Amino acid sequence: MRKYDKEFLKNIDTIFQIKMNSMQQDMFVDYLKRNDKKHESKANKSKEYPPKVEEVYKRYPDRCPVRNAPSGKNSKCKDKIVKLMELFSAHVIVKSIDSYINDCVNHKIYIKNFLTYLNSFEPVAVEEPKNSEDIVNYFLGGNVNTCKRAELPIGAVII
């Protein structure tokens, strides 16, 4: 926040060529301080989202590929993606978006507003990518055991 002192007010007097009494100066300083607080609060509102949220957000096109109209992407969409990611993985959401966009392009259908799409989100059946670090349960020799997918013994059946 800026400092509003007597030197500042003298500069204001010379710039605007306005003579202010002390009460007017105080009111003017209060006005400037209030406006500074408003601008600071607007500047601090920008949130940082995880990279996976940004990846999902970027996957939906900015404009409809069929009619070239805006798709309505905004910060509320990112908040909704965060909520969706509590239920579904980023991989499922991305694959669902890709499938939806491909269907729209192939059938010449206008895409939904992005927030509308997210509110009525229906996941597409997608096989999750298998990570070698995943912990899996397996059945071998009559026993149920647990290990990393990369260390799975030969002949084991994943449960």
Is pTM beyond 0.85? Reply is: no
Q: What is the pLDDT of residues 51-71, one digit of tens each?
A: 999 999 999 999 999 999 999
Query: Which tokens is 91 given?
Result: 């991989």
Q: Which domain holds residue 55?
A: 51-119
Q: What is the pLDDT of residues 104-133, one digit of tens each?
A: 999 999 999 999 999 998 888 766 556 556
Instruction: Give the bridge partners for 144, in sequence order.
Output: 139
Can you tell me whether residue 37 is helix, strand or coil?
helix
User: Are 1 and 36 contacting, i.e. CB atoms less than 8 angstroms apart?
Assistant: yes
In whole angstroms, give the CA distance from residue 73 to residue 148.
40
In whole angstroms, give the CA distance from residue 129 to residue 75.
29
Residue 153 CB neighbours (<10 A):
10
In a domain, 126, yes or no: no
Number of compact structural domains in the chain: 3
Q: Do 81 and 104 sit in the same domain of this protein?
A: yes
